[in-house]
Chains A and B, each alone.
Chain A
């Protein structure tokens, strides 16, 4: 799970905060608010980023692999971050890595290929809900972004 700070998004975001004039006696009254435009203030907006691979297994047991900024190897080898125990999967089949604020997948010269949305790729940037397929194993790339409530 990554928490990054994004300075002003595309949207104008308005945060409401308690008025400085409020006192303890006002606590049961409707809260007066002051609108602050973060675009005007130049403040950074904390944003929660969560990216993960959802591996669809047999018997409806899905695995979820959280992605950070460390590369994840996919393959048959036990040292792979995502181990796929199928004979047709290469020992080191593919890798998922983070570069320039984006996740990418790269085939590592596997025998049977890495597919993204049905296309056999050498390398591809990953976008939300991209379907990766490795030797019949379906892996969904998910990205979630949300503002952190403060």
Chain B
């Protein structure tokens, strides 16, 4: 799948949609087995959201594009957090080994250790044959500040998400009046449901709804079914039911359910999609729901 570069459109491409661990095989080929990686492209600005195993295919395609002298060569990688399924593809990202690439990596400032040392750690010789010093690209690692980041016509702001072990960050990208939100790896059930919700949880719920309000596209964590969530509490992921409900309350226009559970086959996700897609259609006609799949590019 080639990265599409199409004038002034905002293009969103899914390179990896799976959660937790990559799941290759016949029964996952439709929605894909690679872990989290999404790109957003607008004119010459190229954002990468997370560096799960899906980033490897992106790298292959970009390398081809670079060799044809087609820009961009400046890449901006925003990490939601540093769990394996969000960083494990980075050592296999071909443009990182190309000295003409410039890549800025952004991540949460809340990490106990500096982001750079975490990324370097996964390429320690105990885990990987090549160290991070082998990256010949110009790489800058930035812990994001409180201010919004401006890249070309894009404005990127962010919020910490606390209900995920170790924390995670959600990003909102605004351009030409459009809003795209990337909010994966968060346990929405804890902030929207249950009798044990604290004041902080309720405040987090309000913050979430404000952040996603009227998003043209929300890429959201819907790893579990409502039934599965019962045994997965505290694991840091949301049930589809609560995700849909929150998006409906936030008047989201289009929802891409993301971070699919490794146990969920294509058939299972097809059934889940068929059961849920029309649930909110009659109430709020603008809300389109789909299950994100690898190799899909949308124009927003």
Provide the residues of chain B in CB contact with A10, threshold 8 Å: 25-26
Within 8 A of A (CB), among B15-57: 25-26, 29-30
19 extra interface residue pairs, beta carbon distance < 8 Å, beyond A119-B298, A123-B296: A104-B1, A104-B295, A107-B299, A116-B296, A118-B277, A118-B288, A119-B290, A120-B298, A121-B298, A122-B9, A122-B298, A122-B299, A123-B1, A123-B297, A124-B293, A124-B297, A125-B1, A127-B29, A128-B30
Residues B295 and A125 in contact, CB atoms below 8 Å apart = yes
Q: Is B198 an interface residue (CB 8 A)?
A: no
Residues B4 and A123 in contact, CB atoms below 8 Å apart = yes
Q: Is B11 an interface residue (CB 8 A)?
A: yes
Closest chain A CB from B12 CB (angstroms): 9
Q: Is A16 an interface residue (CB 8 A)?
A: no
- A and B contact pairs by CB, cutoff 8 A, 26 listed: A10-B26, A102-B1, A104-B295, A106-B4, A116-B296, A117-B290, A118-B277, A118-B290, A119-B288, A119-B298, A120-B298, A121-B296, A121-B298, A122-B4, A122-B6, A122-B9, A122-B11, A122-B297, A122-B298, A123-B1, A123-B4, A123-B296, A124-B295, A125-B1, A125-B295, A127-B266
Residues A119 and B29 in contact, CB atoms below 8 Å apart = no
Q: Is A5 an interface residue (CB 8 A)?
A: no
**Chain B residue nearest in CB terms to A124:** B296
> Chain A 109-150, CB within 8 Å of chain B: the 1/0 string?
100000011111111110110000000000000000000000
Closest chain B CB from A63 CB (angstroms): 25
The 10 closest A-B pairs by CB, nearest first: A125-B295, A123-B297, A122-B299, A122-B297, A127-B30, A119-B290, A124-B296, A123-B4, A125-B1, A122-B4
A128, B267: Cα distance in complex, Å: 12
Provide the residues of chain A in CB contact with B296, threshold 8 Å: 116, 119, 121, 123-125
Q: Is A99 an interface residue (CB 8 A)?
A: yes
Closest chain B CB from A71 CB (angstroms): 13
Provide the residues of chain A in CB contact with B298, threshold 8 Å: 119-122
> Chain B 250-288, CB within 8 Å of chain A: the 1/0 string?
000000000000000010000000000100000000001
A24, B227: Cα distance in complex, Å: 65
Provide the residues of chain A in CB contact with B99, threshold 8 Å: none
Provide the residues of chain A in CB contact with B295, threshold 8 Å: 102, 104, 124-125
**Chain A residue nearest in CB terms to B3:** A123
Provide the residues of chain B in CB contact with A118, threshold 8 Å: 277, 288, 290
**Chain B residue nearest in CB terms to A125:** B295
A99, B298: Cα distance in complex, Å: 19
Q: Is B111 an interface residue (CB 8 A)?
A: no
Closest chain A CB from B165 CB (angstroms): 32
A24, B26: Cα distance in complex, Å: 44
